């Protein structure tokens, strides 16, 4: 997975391995960042998942949510 794949993905979360691939670092580096509180993560049982939108925000990437997601400033009510 690369940054473009992450940006266009519709998944709510990514795995530690996918995040490591985006960053171009080892999985252990991402795991340490999670443990140190530098990267947000969710634990579901034994799985560790990283929310995609906060990850993109941390990378400074804006995301177009596409159709079906209302824009808060659109004025359509």
CATH code at position 45: 3.90.105
Q: Is 68 within a domain?
A: no
pTM (predicted TM-score): 0.76
Q: Is 77 within a domain?
A: no
The CA–CA distances, whole Å, from 70 to 2, 66, 67 equal 27, 9, 8
Q: How far apart are CA 7 and CA 43, in angstroms?
A: 22
From the list 14, 27, 28, 10, the residue with the least C-alpha distance to 58 is: 14
How many domains does the chain contain in total?
A: 1
Q: Is 12 within a domain?
A: yes
pLDDT at 46: 95
Instruction: Please return the burial class of 4, using the count of CB atoms within 10 Å of its CB with bins 0-12, 13-18 and 19+.
Output: exposed
Q: What is the pLDDT of residues 26-48, one digit of tens each?
A: 999 999 999 999 999 999 999 99
Q: Is 47 within a domain?
A: yes
Tokens of 30: 């991402």
Q: Is 65 within a domain?
A: no
Range of the domain at 20: 3-58
Low-confidence spans in the chain with pLDDT less than 70: 64-77
């Amino acid at each position: 997975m690369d940054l473009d794949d992450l940006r266009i993905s519709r998944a709510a979360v990514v795995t530690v391995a996918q995040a490591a691939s985006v960053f171009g670092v080892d999985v252990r580096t991402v795991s340490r960042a999670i443990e140190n509180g530098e990267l947000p993560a969710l634990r579901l049982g034994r799985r560790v998942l990283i929310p995609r939108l906060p990850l993109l925000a941390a990378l400074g990437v804006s995301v177009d949510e596409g159709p079906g997601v209302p824009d808060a400033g659109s004025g359509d009510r």
